[in-house]
Amino acid sequence: MIPRAVSASLVTFEREIYDYRKNLFLFALRNLIQPFFFVLVIGVGLGSMVSLPGRESYLSFMIPGILMMCVVQVCYQHFSSEIWMSKNHEGYLELLTMAAPIKPHEAVAGYLLTGVVVAFFAVLCFLLPVWLFLSGFHISLAALILFTIGLALFFTSAGIIVGVTVSHPHNLTTVSLFITMPLTYLCGVFIPTEMYPRAARVLIEAIPLTQAIEGLRSGGVPIFEIAYVWAMAAIAMIFAARCFEKNMHL
């Protein structure tokens, strides 16, 4: 028999997966469009004029960063907007945690599980054409899986926190901009972090995304970077569960 807590978490998971599956084609396009233009314009266009010492090519340098950025964007943006809508317009969160016998942390667990599935779908959407057209590209699958899960848990938690705490839609857009834009351009996706001043680099390298990108580029299974990302994910999950429970009881 499935434990009650697991069964309760699966209620949210099944609902979210059902909604995601209904729009699977559109989500697949969304997962491809921005990475495709990054590769085409920056990787191929600008990359033809850039030479990084010790790197095979600028495009091979950039792809691990885009992969991890795909996870960040799909998890954070999807769940911050999804939970905001569920709370402020659909009333689903109140129904879920008050009328139904589901505890807040069980609902959060369902969202987190959905975030992992959505993250892997985004990674596959980008990797399949990369492997098809760049046959020489290699990456550690073990590291990719572990970093994808860790980042998915961390940034799904961030999306949950923002979704339940922000009340106005304009504020939601502004907060999202201040989260995703710096992560995209500062965390080593397009330029090596060693190019930053030392003080700035300390702050940038404390972000889990930076550790995931650098770890994925290093090859093999980088234990320290994986442990760091998972530790930060654990802290974020605890904070998300408490934040979710607090805001559902207001």
- Select the highest-mean-pLDDT range: 46-60, 121-135, 144-158: 144-158
- Residue 54 pLDDT > 70: no
* Helical residues (DSSP H) of 86-140, grouped into ranges: 92-94, 104-133
Percent of residues, the chain, with pLDDT higher than 90: 30
Could you give the C-alpha distances from 13 to 78, 106, 238, 243, in angstroms and in order?
14, 10, 18, 19
Of 144, 213, 161, 163, the C-alpha closest to 184 is 213
Band of residue 1 on the pLDDT scale cut at 50, 70, 90: very low
- Residue 6 pLDDT > 80: no
d(CA 126, CA 163): 26
SS3 163: helix
- Residue 248 pLDDT > 80: no
Could you give the C-alpha distances from 169 to 88, 89, 176, 182, 183, in angstroms and in order?
10, 11, 11, 21, 21
Q: Please give the pLDDT value at position 139.
A: 85
Question: Is the four-CA dihedral 46, 185, 82, 240 of positive or negative sign?
Answer: positive
Band of residue 172 on the pLDDT scale cut at 50, 70, 90: confident
* pTM, rounded to two decimals: 0.88
d(CA 202, CA 212): 15
Mean pLDDT is lowest, of 75-79, 101-105, 122-126, 133-137, for 133-137
d(CA 162, CA 244): 10
Q: Please give the pLDDT value at position 76.
A: 92
Six-digit token pair at 99? 């009328």
d(CA 173, CA 77): 10
